[in-house]
Amino acid sequence: MSSNRNDLSTVGATALYVGALLGPSLLLLPGLAARAAGPASLLAWVGLLVLSGLIAVVFSRLGTTVGSTSGVAGYAAAGLGSRAGRAAAWCFLGGVVTGAPVVCLIGGAYVAELLRAGDRTAFAAAGVLLAMVLAMRLAGARTGVRVQLALVGLLVALVVLAVAGAAPSARAGYWHPFAPHGWGSIARAASPLMLAFVGWEAAAPLTARLRDPRRQLPRVVGAAFAVTAVLYLALAAATVGVLGPRAGSSVPLAGLLEVAVGGSGRAIAAAGAVVLTLAATNAYLTGATAMASALAGTRRGRPTGTRRAQAAGTRRGQVAEAGRGQAAGLVAAIAATGGLLLGLAASGLVGTAQFVAVPTALFLVVYLACMAAAVRVLRGLVRVAAAVACVTVVQLLLFSGWAALLAAAVAVTAAATEGVRRSVLQECGGGGGRVMGDGA
């Protein structure tokens, strides 16, 4: 079989998949889960890893069956129609808009921990980080794939250093009582944790760059799943076993690094959190801008007849102009939403868990649409996996409370808008993916 320089090796594709799954939310979610369910939060991690495995298999099959350039919008449209495709696309955008402030708050919390300051400093630092990343987006800054993978390597190194260095300080007594808030707390912890498992949908289109997808893809997915599973479980277990009463902190990695390397651990964690926050959010916004531009382009219609030749000559300019306009619109939406959410959080009206619940619910709706579509278009055991994942995602949405209602409102509103052609849905789906993972 012939190959070209754009082909991905199994190792390279695995690195990209891991990059799609890991992001700054890993710096917050272990503490958030421990706060909700105590040591029993580890069961929530295990359960979501099983769900993640099912979703990985489904998205991989969708990537080779529906079309290599189709992202979440194209997947949903293929099985459920263009209205579902629009709903998936706008929920994805909504997840980015509401998720960007969450990622910045993660970085802000680590800065505040470094300064030994309170929540107000965390919110102020989050606002500064959000302003910085929005300025980068307006300036057209992009985070290349190699840079993103280097940053994922930084995140992995921080987790390994924290877990390995702090492990000798773990205490068996911190695991008792195992479920201090009752067994129902496991389900409550699982819903926001789903934010850590968003990413499989972004990497599936990479199947087009594999030399032999049928042989390579199972190995790539299996290796990526194994790497992320080990990292997630190791960090979750260390958070509970080492930090004990402090496990529910918003900066668990800082606590583990302080145990592992001493006082400099907080500085290392803060520096890593800031770099990851800026790079991950910028990468996410780049993909979201492409999706917004494609969606907006559908309103102008498609030229026919003799107009096609003339339109072809100006298409690139129109796309560039639309991209700049959509970038400005997206920045404005994130600035307004981020200001509102950070203001509500600073005033104490919204807690960290509620903050995270909004983008999580929106991404869950995206996954629900894609899994339901997969039940329609796939066959065999993969179809069964999609059905199981679909039911599980519905249950997670139910535990999202009011955030699920907000996500449903976005989906219904998007589905009721003017029709979008499938070809454009495929374009925006492909553009909506990202390599630097769950940045929200």
Residue 124 and residue 423: Cα distance in Å, rounded? 43
Mean pLDDT for 311-323 is 51
Residue linked to tokens 């479980």: 233
How much is the average pLDDT of 356-371?
92
Mean pLDDT is lowest, of 24-28, 167-171, 316-320, 390-394, for 316-320
pTM for this one?
0.81
Q: What pLDDT, on a 0 to 100 scale, did the predictor assign at position 339?
A: 87
State the pLDDT at residue 212: 79
Residue 213 has pLDDT above 60, yes or no: yes
Per-residue confidence at 304, pLDDT binned at 50, 70, 90? very low
pLDDT-derived band at 21, boundaries 50, 70, 90: confident
Q: Could you tell me the two tokens for 140?
A: 């057209």
Confidence category of residue 343, pLDDT binned at 50, 70, 90: confident
Sequence-separated (6 or more) residues with CB below 8 Å from residue 357: 191, 192, 400, 401, 403
pLDDT band at 332 (very low <50, low <70, confident <90, very high): confident
**What's the number of CA atoms in the CB half-sphere (13 Å) around residue 310?**
5
Spatial distance between the Cα atoms of 222 and 219, rounded to a whole number of angstroms: 5
Task: Kindly report the backbone phi and psi dihedral angles of residue 379, in degrees, each rounded to the nearest multiple of 5, phi listed first.
Answer: -135, 165
Length of the chain: 440
Cα(372)–Cα(137) distance, integer angstroms = 34
User: Tens of pLDDT along 396-422?
Assistant: 998 888 899 999 999 999 888 754 444
CB atoms under 10 Å from CB of 307, counted, come to 10
The predicted-structure confidence for 141-160, as pLDDT tens digits, reads as follows 665 667 767 877 888 899 99
Is residue 54 predicted with pLDDT exceeding 60? yes
Q: So what's the pLDDT on residue 263?
A: 84
What are the residues facing 8 on neighbouring strands?
210
The pLDDT of residue 33 is above 70: yes
Tell me: pLDDT of 309 over 80.
no
* pLDDT class of 318 with cuts at 50, 70, 90: low
- Residue 348's pLDDT is 78
What value does the mean pLDDT take over residues 57-84?
80
Give the pLDDT of residue 224. Answer: 86
- The band of 432, judged by pLDDT with boundaries at 50, 70 and 90, is very low
Measuring CA to CA, which residue among 250, 316, 236, 216 is closest to residue 108?
250
- Residue 373 has a pLDDT of 94
Q: Which among 196, 217, 202, 194 is positioned nearest to 73, based on CA atoms?
A: 202
439: pLDDT strictly greater than 80: no
Average pLDDT score over residue span 327-343:
84
Cβ contact 157:247 at 8 Å:
no
Return the residue matching tokens 């579902």: 84
Which two three-digit tokens encode residue 54?
């099912």
Each residue's pLDDT tens digit, 106-120: 899 999 999 988 888
To which H or E segment does residue 348 belong? none
Q: Compute the distance between CA of residue 238 and CA of residue 218 in angstroms, rounded to an integer.
A: 30
φ/ψ of 438, rounded to 5, equals -50, 60
Q: What is the pLDDT of residue 331?
A: 83
**Mean of the per-residue pLDDT values of the chain:** 81
Question: pLDDT by residue (tens digit) across 158-211?
Answer: 999 999 999 999 999 999 999 999 998 998 888 888 888 887 766 656 666 777
> For residues 31 and 346, which has the higher predicted lDDT (pLDDT)?
31
Write down the pLDDT at residue 6. 59
Instruction: Give residue 262's identity as a one-letter amino acid code.
Output: G
Q: Give yes or no for a contact between 432 and 95, defined as CB atoms under 8 angstroms apart.
A: no
What is d(CA 126, CA 151) in angstroms, rounded to the nearest whole number? Answer: 20
φ and ψ at residue 210, rounded to 5 degrees: -85, 140
Question: What integer is the mean pLDDT of 41-68?
Answer: 86
Residue 296: pLDDT over 70? no
Does the structure show a pLDDT above 50 at 330?
yes
At residue 270 the predicted structure's pLDDT band, cuts being 50, 70 and 90, is: very high
| Rounded average pLDDT over 258-264 | 91
- Select from 155, 161, 236 the least CA-distant residue to 193: 236
d(CA 182, CA 178): 9
pLDDT, tens digit, 9 for 90 and up, residues 79-134:
999 899 889 988 988 888 888 888 888 899 999 999 988 888 999 999 999 998 88
